[in-house]
């Protein structure tokens, strides 16, 4: 199963031939359809001086005049065919060297990717309007923590299923059941403890180092087709306002155009070093299938919750104790003395909270949390929730038209909220 984003417009971008040729020139040609890339390379060198197609068009117009030898199939002289074959070989060699990166990454990550099926109990499926046993399917990836092995996946894939009702298909064809199921409803994180001989764990990358435009691969079981590999780029970061079928208060999604479909949920998003940098979770789609907009939980965020589940069996979140103003806009920012809306505007303080103890006030604007610039309300919520309970952090606060520094020790959210 894959979460579908509601009320998020889907879009599809098809690059022009000129853009694909430029990508090939800087070493990204392996991400293109091989045949198209080769034709573009041959045409560019066989027809010198031919005009480049406009990058605003997705289709390429044929050159006005072709060399006589290329006007009709079969009219090449033997020596011309030999020359073209040599040229083709030179172009192919360059593209094949780049394509080898994708093949290597797929071979490296493949043994760590699993297919997950779960029989969701009727009482759990009632909240989804079904009221009967439902079989969910998705993907997952094996990791190792200390001496133990775990499968990372999405909570909505295994939703309240018992270990005996969850089947994990390994890359070598074996079927196993988890020994323990750990899940967090507010982040859509699930961790399955597993034990079997010769398990192959994946390496984890650093999702904080990702940049828009970085190449990535998505691996999983779309429509039950296990170990399918697609490629694309990081299209955007910090997507925090997705309207999902299940409410997730903690969102900070990576956006990618790597093809993600139902069944990819829980599978890894991988960088070109073969490291997991995200867990595929949702798509924006009008059709229910891939339309070029997929979302993954950054692995750094995922592991904050996963490590707590593994170590303590539950997720404990930090709490600051501020209410935030959702109507914070340009006019409000101007009245406060700011050039534009930035940070998060405090509209109230929870009694006896860490914020009250630090003497935060209504109309304070929190610009930085623990030396990280605050982008908006949802970003501040994430930064607080990912902080270790009890940790002392520094806030940069804009108050009375000047910035001040405030130190606060965050509390435990469960002590302040039900």
**Active-site choice (188, 257, 364, 377):** 188
Helices 78-109 and 34-46: crossing angle in degrees, nearest 10, is 140
Q: Is 227 marked active-site?
A: no
Instruction: Output the CA–CA distances (angstroms, integers) from residue 58 to 13, 32, 281, 295, in the order listed.
Output: 9, 14, 30, 25
Structure tokens of 105? 């990454």
- Of the candidates 115, 139, 156, 257, the residue annotated as catalytic is 156
Q: Is 265 known to be catalytic?
A: yes
Q: Which of 235, 265, 285, 385 is catalytic?
A: 265
Q: Give the helix ranges, DSSP H, for 337-417.
A: 354-357, 377-385
The number of C-alpha atoms within 13 Å of 404 and in the hemisphere containing its C-beta is 12
Q: Let me know if 57 is a catalytic residue.
A: no
- Taking the C-alpha atoms of residue 127 and residue 131, their distance in angstroms, rounded to an integer, is 8
User: Cα–Cα distance between 221 and 190 in angstroms, integer?
Assistant: 17
β-pair type (411-412, 402-409): unpaired
Which residue pairs, CB below 8 angstroms and at least 24 apart, start in 177-184? 178/151, 182/309, 182/310, 182/313, 183/155, 183/158, 183/159, 183/309, 184/155, 184/305, 184/309, 184/315
Active site residues: 156, 188, 265
């Amino acid at each position: 199963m894959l979460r579908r984003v509601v009320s998020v417009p889907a879009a599809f971008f098809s690059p022009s031939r000129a853009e694909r040729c430029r990508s090939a020139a800087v070493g990204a040609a392996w991400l293109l359809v091989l045949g198209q890339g080769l034709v573009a390379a041959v045409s560019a060198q066989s027809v010198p001086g031919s005009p480049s197609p406009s990058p605003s068009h997705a289709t390429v117009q044929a050159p006005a005049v072709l060399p006589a030898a290329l006007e009709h199939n079969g009219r090449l002289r033997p020596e011309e065919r030999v020359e073209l074959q040599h040229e083709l070989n030179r172009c192919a060699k360059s593209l094949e060297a780049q394509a080898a990166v994708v093949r290597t990454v797929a071979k490296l990550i493949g043994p760590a990717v699993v297919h997950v099926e779960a029989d969701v109990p009727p009482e759990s499926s009632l909240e989804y309007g079904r009221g009967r046993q439902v079989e969910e399917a998705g993907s997952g990836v094996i990791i190792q923590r200390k001496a133990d092995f775990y499968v990372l996946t999405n909570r909505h894939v295994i939703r309240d299923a018992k270990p005996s009702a969850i089947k994990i298909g390994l890359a070598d064809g074996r079927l196993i059941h988890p020994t323990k199921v750990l899940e967090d409803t507010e982040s859509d994180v699930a961790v399955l403890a597993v034990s079997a001989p010769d398990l192959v764990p994946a390496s984890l990358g650093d999702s904080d180092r990702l940049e828009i435009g970085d190449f990535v691969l998505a691996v999983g079981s779309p429509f039950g087709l296990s170990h399918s590999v697609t490629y694309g780029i990081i299209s955007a970061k910090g997507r925090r306002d997705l309207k999902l079928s299940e409410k997730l208060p903690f969102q900070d999604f990576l956006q990618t155009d790597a093809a993600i479909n139902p069944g990819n949920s829980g599978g890894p998003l991988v960088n070109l070093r073969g490291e997991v940098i995200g867990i595929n979770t949702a798509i924006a789609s009008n059709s229910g299938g891939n339309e070029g907009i997929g979302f993954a939980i950054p692995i750094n965020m995922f592991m904050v919750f996963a490590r707590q589940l593994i170590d303590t069996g539950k997720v404990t979140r930090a709490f600051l104790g501020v209410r935030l103003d959702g109507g914070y806009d340009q006019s409000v920012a101007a009245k406060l003395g700011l050039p534009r809306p930035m940070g998060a505007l405090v509209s109230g303080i929870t009694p006896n909270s860490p914020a009250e103890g630090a003497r935060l006030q209504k109309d304070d604007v929190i610009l930085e949390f623990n030396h990280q610039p605050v982008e908006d309300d949802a970003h501040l919520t994430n930064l607080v929730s990912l902080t270790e309970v009890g940790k002392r952090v520094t806030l940069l606060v804009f108050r009375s038209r000047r910035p001040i520094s405030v130190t606060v020790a965050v509390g435990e959210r469960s002590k302040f909220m039900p």
